[in-house]
Amino acid sequence: DVKVTQSSRYLVKRTGEKVFLECVQDMDHENMFWYRQDPGLGLRLIYFSYDVKMKEKGDIPEGYSVSREKKERFSLILESASTNQTSMYLCASRVKWQGAPETQYFGPGTRLLVL
């Protein structure tokens, strides 16, 4: 059974803290994604990683960075958390694009509250 796991389901942090969200997939997928999900806005892409050490900015990268040192792990970093980063964060993975649509597999999400 395919699996994407996220390090925490719920997280509470203070403004200005550095926050690490971890995502691990066991499917040997090349591509990984970080999205944030907000009411009325759907899912918006923060960062995408093609493969190890490869990344692309998504639609809302400001205030975030990412790290992909191993194929199975993709980390999202909030350099200095702010209250407007309170949200649900979803990680996903898929095999690399080869001309046909590929399913994205999502983790259960991390609900982050920044106080």
Partner 1 sequence: DAKTTQPNSMESNEEEPVHLPCNHSTISGTDYIHWYRQLPSQGPEYVIHGLTSNVNNRMASLAIAEDRKSSTLILHRATLRDAAVYYCIQHLSGTYKYIFGTGTRLKVLA
Cα–Cα distances (Å) from 35 to 10, 58, 98, 107, in that order, read 16, 9, 22, 11
Q: Does 10 bind partner 1 (CB under 8 A)?
A: no
For the chain, first and last CA: distance in Å? 37
- Binding-site size for partner 1 (CB under 8 A) equals 25
Give the residue, chosen from 24, 33, 64, 66, that forms a contact with partner 1 under the rule CB under 8 A.
Answer: 33
Give the residue, chosen from 19, 24, 31, 68, that forms a contact with partner 1 under the rule CB under 8 A.
Answer: 31
Cα–Cα distances (Å) from 94 to 11, 19, 22, 26, 91, in that order, read 26, 25, 17, 11, 11
Q: Does 40 bind partner 1 (CB under 8 A)?
A: yes
The CB-of-82 to partner 1 minimum distance in angstroms stands at 23
What's the Rg (C-alpha) of the chain? Answer: 13
Binding positions for partner 1, rule: CB under 8 A: 4, 31, 33, 40-45, 48, 50, 56, 58, 90, 92, 97, 99, 101, 103-109
